[in-house]
């Protein structure tokens, strides 16, 4: 084969697992605490509406649309932000719909950063930021956060981490993999620091609807309207990751560039996905509100409580923070691993016991000796079963 213009390109272990699981014939035997893939179906009203649109106007439900997304859907997103987060976003100029949160983040990074710019990320944090930023040749400054502090960001340490190449700070709250919700005063401190230092603040709000304790604040509550970009997605909260719909909002000039880049990469967002979201958000988000309150939050809360309980009973020596939001736990497994590294542990656990967990090192240097376990994919009885298998694995391996 002729030469390619790209060399080594790392792929997230969650993506590799996705491929593996999709080929796997005996899915039910595998218990997955792996990828953050909702096990719930999307709200029935949204799918029914889409099916009825396929009947009523099959062409209109399948056609191209504008790059930033249907004006009606952008308006509904703007109304949602007004209603729930008390912030004002112009649906025409300040919002662009995207192929999931992934595209929102990728284009945001591409638009804001250029080698040798640096971005500050908490460590540990979402594993897919690293290969995205690495591919774009952007530098990452790692800001350690600790289980003892419930993984809160230390604003003084953040301040010290900033150098003359720093151009942006990214915060994910509630967080993946730790489940940490940023404290109100910490968030205020980050906003003020970014304004003061003239840095872009990128907030990834994908888990804002999955909250078990505490309150979510949009960072703009504390300022930064002209230097804040927010990426979000319907994949997790509406349980529709396969539809690939997210959004990004920020200053109009920024969104202009995002839309241009989106037109090069993927032309326009999925029309069926937008129709589902139209139903999900219309009438003051009636469908959304009911779905979150009656289905999503209660389901995941029960699973979270079950997993916390299992952690205490089956892995009493693992240190962890009880997740306030999102759907992950990030136990420190040092006291169990002995000399085994956590990736070997994860691979062997899958092989021997058919339980999927994600090795902590992919989430950052601080993630070593940790595992990420999600409680989004399995019901309580299978969470228990998964921990029984993990306990068995520890015993079999004298860990």
- Positions 220 through 249 that interact with its own copies (CB under 8 A): 226-227, 235, 239-244
Asked if residue 254 binds its own copies (CB under 8 A), the reply is yes
Helix (H, G, I), strand (E, B) or coil at 398: coil
Instruction: List the interface residues with its own copies, window 333-392 (CB under 8 A).
Output: none
Q: How many residues lie near its own copies (CB under 8 A)?
A: 85
Helix (H, G, I), strand (E, B) or coil at 235: coil
CA distance 52 to 239: 20
Closest CA to 91 of 108, 99, 79: 79
**From its phi and psi, is residue 222 left (phi > 0), alpha (psi between -120 and 50) or beta?**
alpha
Kindly write out the interface string for residues 86-105 of this chain, putting x where it contacts its own copies by CB under 8 A and - elsewhere.
Answer: -------------xx-xx--
Kindly write out the interface string for residues 184-203 of this chain, putting x where it contacts its own copies by CB under 8 A and - elsewhere.
Answer: --------------xxx---
Nearer Cβ to its own copies (60/214):
60
Nearer Cβ to its own copies (7/395):
7
Closest CA to 366 of 164, 144, 188, 207: 144
Closest CA to 244 of 223, 265, 215, 227: 265
Kindly write out the interface string for residues 64-83 of this chain, putting x where it contacts its own copies by CB under 8 A and - elsewhere.
Answer: xxxxx-xx------------
Asked if residue 285 binds its own copies (CB under 8 A), the reply is no
Which alpha helices (DSSP H) does the chain contain, by range? 13-23, 44-56, 71-85, 100-112, 129-135, 155-161, 184-196, 252-265, 271-290, 297-314, 334-337, 342-353, 380-396
Asked if residue 62 binds its own copies (CB under 8 A), the reply is yes
Nearer Cβ to its own copies (229/394):
229
Which range touches its own copies (CB under 8 A), out of 42-50, 153-161, 291-299, 384-392? 42-50
Cβ of residue 33: shortest distance to its own copies, in angstroms? 15
Asked if residue 51 binds its own copies (CB under 8 A), the reply is yes
Yes or no: say if 296 and 41 are a contact pair by the CB < 8 Å rule: no
Cβ of residue 49: shortest distance to its own copies, in angstroms? 10
Helices and strands per DSSP (H, E), number in the chain: 13, 12
Asked if residue 63 binds its own copies (CB under 8 A), the reply is yes
Kindly write out the interface string for residues 101-140 of this chain, putting x where it contacts its own copies by CB under 8 A and - elsewhere.
Answer: -xx--x---xxxxx--x----------x--xx--x-----
Asked if residue 25 binds its own copies (CB under 8 A), the reply is no
Q: Which residue, chain included where needed, has tokens 């993630």?
A: 367
């Amino acid at each position: 084969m002729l030469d390619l213009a790209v060399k080594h390109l790392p792929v997230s272990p969650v993506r590799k697992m996705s491929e593996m699981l999709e080929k796997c014939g005996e899915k039910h035997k595998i218990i997955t605490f792996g990828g953050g893939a909702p096990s719930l179906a999307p709200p029935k009203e949204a799918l029914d509406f889409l099916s009825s649109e396929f009947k009523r106007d099959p062409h209109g439900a399948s056609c191209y649309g504008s790059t930033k997304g249907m004006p009606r859907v952008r308006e509904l997103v703007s109304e949602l932000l007004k209603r729930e987060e008390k912030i004002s976003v112009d649906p025409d100029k300040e919002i662009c719909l995207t192929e999931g949160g992934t595209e929102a983040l990728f284009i945001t990074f591409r638009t804001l950063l250029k080698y040798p710019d640096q971005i500050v990320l908490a460590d540990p944090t979402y594993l897919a930021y690293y290969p995205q930023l690495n591919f774009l040749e952007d530098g990452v400054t790692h800001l350690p956060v600790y289980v003892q502090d419930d993984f809160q960001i230390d604003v003084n340490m953040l301040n010290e981490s900033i150098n003359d190449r720093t151009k942006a700070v990214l915060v994910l709250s509630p967080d993946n993999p730790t489940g940490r919700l940023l404290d109100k005063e910490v968030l205020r401190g980050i906003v003020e620091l970014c304004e003061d230092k003239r840095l872009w603040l990128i907030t990834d709000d994908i888990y804002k609807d999955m909250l078990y304790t505490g309150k979510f604040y949009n960072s703009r509550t504390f300022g930064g309207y002209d230097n804040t970009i927010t990426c979000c997605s319907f994949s997790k909260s509406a349980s529709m990751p396969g539809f690939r719909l997210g959004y990004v909002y920020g200053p109009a000039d920024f969104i202009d560039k995002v839309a241009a880049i989106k037109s090069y990469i993927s032309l326009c967002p999925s029309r069926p996905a937008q129709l589902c979201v139209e139903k999900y958000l219309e009438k003051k988000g009636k469908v959304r509100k009911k779905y979150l309150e009656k289905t999503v939050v209660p389901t995941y809360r029960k699973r979270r409580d079950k997993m916390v309980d299992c952690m205490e009973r089956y892995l009493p020596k693992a240190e962890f923070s009880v997740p306030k939001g999102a759907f992950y736990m990030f136990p420190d497994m040092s006291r169990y691993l002995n000399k085994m590294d956590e990736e070997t542990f994860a691979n062997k656990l899958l092989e021997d016991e058919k339980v999927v967990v994600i090795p902590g090192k992919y989430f950052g240097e601080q993630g070593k000796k940790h595992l990420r376990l999600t409680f989004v994919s399995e019901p309580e009885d299978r969470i228990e079963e998964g921990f029984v298998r993990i306990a068995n694995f520890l015993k079999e391996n004298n860990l």
